Structure 1
Amino acid sequence: MVVSARRKVLAHNFCLLLLTMASAGDVFEHGRHGTSLFKVQEAGRCCSPPADGRANDPPKPLLIAAPCDAGEYPVVLFLHGYLCNNYFYSQLLQHVASHGFIVIGPQLYTVSGPDTTGEINSAAAVINWLADGLSSTALPPNVRPNLTAVTISGHSRGGKVAFALALGHAKTSLPLAALIAVDPVDGMAVGKQTPPPILTNKRSSLRVPAPAMVIGSGLGSEPRNALFSPCAPLGVSHAAFYDECAGAACHLVARDYGHTDMMDDVTRGAKGLATRAVCKSGEARAPMRRFVGGAMVAFLKKWVEGRPEWLDGIRERPEVAPVFLSVVEFQDEGCSS
């Protein structure tokens, strides 16, 4: 009887393990929702003002990925990298949206210098527009945004801007639900940060008022060739951002992939060609994109929807990811685990 009971417990635990692995792996695949992807032009580009007299157009052009199914969904802001186009991330945005999120990618600028202050203010203006403006955009029928709080995310310099917003460098009208930085970069090197500097070179100094996820690329700190500097230099990239997070945070690094490998398979134009020519890359973008999208979804499911099993599954079994993870570290309320 004792042996039989033990076998039942072992069998039950084994089944739970299989379910955890399956659910964790599910986030790296397209979700159950069909998605729509559409653009919304910025204020001033409309032929005529809205009938009610309100300026419902956003302050910057937007690329929006949303579920097609009726329902209310949390909102995620995704900020593009330096000199990139927001549509370079269309496949990533749709991956996240397919799991039940409205993902908004503003085009913050066309050309920009080293100072990120304008980007920070522009991103804050988009957040402040959401409450009154998002519902009036061309969202699919019966799709409603949940704006009780917003998640701010971004790639490369957009990751730095996301941290700046979370730290209060510009005033925003919506509470922060979570922060996700994808291979964030704060300048060319330690001591050569772009203004305003975010990293302080002091451990646990960034007191973000929400849980933070930092995703890194193993090849981002390596130069593509002798002509170019690394796209995510050591000391001002993902590891430094994670080390300086003071609260609940996690850090995942894809060893064999580069700084732009989460972008679309095809990125056209001069800027699109530069994403491959300047940064060292892995063999293909799809695995890295699936990983980044899945990691974002798992983090959002835990901290926005209160469903921790996906993120916990990745934490316990990193091999479910479609890439090899060289770093998997978590700190809960500031305590390393």
Structure 2
Amino acid sequence: MGRKTNFFLVFLLSILLNNEIVEGDSSVSGDVFMEGPFTVKALDMQTWGPSLDKSLLVAVPTLKGTYPVLLFLHSYVPLRNNFYWDFLHQVASHGYIAVAPLLYDFTGWDCTQEMIDTASISDWLKVNLHLHFPAQLKAVVPDFDRFAIAGHGRGGKVAFGVALGLAASTAVKISALAGFDPVDGAGDRQNPPTILTYSNTSLPLSIPALIVGTGLGSKRTILLPACAPERLGHDEFFNESPAPAYHFVASDYGVNDILNNELFWLPCLLCQCRIPLEPMRRFAAGVLVAFLRSAMEENGETFEYILKNPAVAPVRLEPPQYKVLPDFVPPEAAIQQEPQILLVNGMDVSAPDSAI
């Protein structure tokens, strides 16, 4: 009887220890895929200026402190900024102030005005955001020395355009850039102002870039063309981004699967999709948080873990791709416009057309 009891206790202890190890791994990586520790409040505010009148949806932590700022840009009609509230809430709950402007109710193919407006909104936010916080949030301080810009679909293109200074420049220094299924046009053609050049590492960026794509984005529905055509989408944005750049692809999901849960019908109406949406949204928000920690807070442990262990994500991922500059390459090399040595997934892929 004593031996059976001892065996049972040893077996139970082994289970507890194994669970503890798994949970330990989750604390390194998986926590970003869930809601974070901060309570989040939603704020609606309006920008004002000579030519600027935009509605803003702001997700802000309520705890006293100084927080990095993320500007997030919605995709094309009929999508709106409030369709991303669940996504914004998850990001903010990890200690970020997330701001999503409503750039338009309806617009044409040309993105120039959106880039101009986004640059103006960035400048407005640096001066006015804190002034528009209610009294109970006055101890919450936005840190514009840690400012990132991200976008979804057409908004991803606009984010890249603003980071490149295509149509307008912002006085706020952008520290990181992210695109979720960014698309440089529709059908088989680019729309102005064009981003992609179809030359590797050709975009003159000097900040870390995260590109997240989907396996279903390049596939058409029964009635509509693909929402993220191959030559206009995430693969090409990654190919043309210089180091450091990172590329994740969720194989089984579609372009709009990062929207709020209650909008499950909308992604499937517009593009190929997978229901439920929640796993894709949790992944997208989580990998963005890990990327921002690495890019703006010198805390790359979680992001590196996800790169090396993509199975921790709540969705199935293709092997992540990345471009990095080796540690031994002096920063003067890029300034002198000498060839850029690139490591993609640890392999040297330097080429004459990858110079900047």
TM-score when normalising by structure 1? 0.87
SS at match of 2:255: coil
Residue 34 (structure 2) aligns with = 29
Residue 313 of structure 1 is aligned with which of 305, 311, 325?
A: 305
Contact 2:54-2:101 at 8 Å conserved across structures: yes
Deviation, structure 1 residue 189: 4.3
1:92 counterpart = 2:100: no
Which position in structure 2 is the counterpart of 1:232?
A: 228
Aligned to 2:169: 171
Instruction: For residues 35-70 of structure 1, give each alpha carbon's deviation from its aligned partner in whole angstroms, at most 9, with x where no partner exists.
Output: 011210232xxxxxxxxxxx6997411000011111
- Unpaired stretches in structure 1, ≥5 consecutive residues: 1-14, 44-54
Per-residue CA deviations over 1:180-228 (Å, capped at 9, x if unaligned) read: 10110111245x1010010111111012120000000111111121x21
Instruction: Report what 2:353 is aligned to.
Output: none
Match of residue 186, structure 2, among 177, 185, 188: 188
Q: Distance in 2 between matches of 1:235 and 1:323?
A: 24
Deviation at 1:150, TM superposition (A): 1.4
Q: Distance in 2 between matches of 1:232 and 1:159?
A: 11
| Contact 1:148 1:175 (8 Å CA) reproduced | yes
Aligned residue in 2 for 1:41: 46
Distance in 2, matches of 1:58 and 1:317, equals 44
Mapped to 1, the partners of 2:130 and 2:103 lie a distance apart of 21
Q: What is the Cα deviation at residue 266 of structure 1?
A: 1.7
Q: Which amino acid aligns with 2:203?
A: L
Counterpart CA distance in 1 for 2:212 and 2:291 is: 11
How many positions carry a matched residue from both structures?
306
Letter in 2 for 1:92: F
Residue of structure 2 in register with 1:3 after alignment: none
> 1:183, 1:137 → 2: CA distance?
32
Change (3 A) 1:327 1:81: farther
- Deviations 1:150-188 (Å, cap 9, x if unpaired)? 101000000000000111111101111100101101112
State whether residues 56 and 136 of structure 1, in contact with CA within 8 Å, keep that contact through their aligned partners in structure 2: no
Please give the root-mean-square deviation of Cα atoms over the aligned residues, in Å: 2.0
Aligned 8 A contact 2:310 2:319 in 1: no
Look up the SS of the partner of 1:81 in the other structure. Answer: coil
- Secondary structure in 1 matching 2:246: strand
8 Å contact 2:130–2:138 — kept in the other structure? no
Instruction: Give the Cα separation in 2 of the matches to 1:18 and 1:242.
Output: 33
Separation of aligned partners in 2, 1:19 and 1:239:
33
What SS does the aligned partner of 2:320 have? strand
- SS of the counterpart of 1:131? helix
Q: Is the 8 A contact 1:189 1:234 kept in 2?
A: no
Structure 2, unmatched stretches of 5+, are 1-19, 326-341, 346-356
Structure with the largest fraction of helix: 2
State how far apart, in whole Å, the 2-side matches of 1:301 and 1:321 are: 17
Deviation track 1:87-143 (CA, whole Å, cap 9, x = no partner) reads 000000000000000000001111000000010001111001112111111252411
Identify the residue that residue 330 of structure 1 maps to in structure 2.
322
Residue identity opposite 2:109 in structure 1: P
Greater Rg, structure 1 or structure 2?
2
Q: Which amino acid aligns with 1:242?
A: F
Q: Say if 2:51 is the partner of 1:74.
A: no
Distance 1:265-1:138 versus aligned 2 partners, 3 A rule: same
Query: 1:22 deviation in Å?
Result: 3.1
- Select which of 279, 286, 292 maps to 1:294: 286
What is the identity, as a one-letter code, of the residue corresponding to 1:42? T
| 2:57–2:100 CA contact under 8 A, matched in 1 | yes
Opposite residue 29 of structure 1, the aligned amino acid is: M
Deviation at 1:281, TM superposition (A): 0.4
The 8 Å contact of residues 176 and 209 in structure 1, kept in 2 or not, is answered as no
Name the counterpart of 2:261.
265
Q: Are residues 1:213 and 2:210 paired?
A: yes
CA contact (8 A) 1:59 1:126 kept: no
**Once the 2 structures are TM-superposed, how far is the Cα of residue 20 of structure 1 from its aligned partner?**
4.6
| Residue pair 1:21, 1:317 contacting (<8 A) in 2 also | no
* 1:335 Cα deviation from its structure 2 partner: 2.3
Which residue of 45, 54, 61 corresponds with 1:60? 54
* Superposed displacement of residue 326, structure 1: 1.4
Q: Does 1:111 align with 2:112?
A: no
Residue 275 of structure 1: CA displacement? Answer: 3.6
- Higher relative CO (Cα under 8 Å, sequence separation at least 6) belongs to 1
Tell me the TM-score normalised to structure 2 length.
Answer: 0.82
Give 1:19 deviation, angstroms.
3.9
- Tell me, what secondary structure is at the counterpart of 2:323? strand
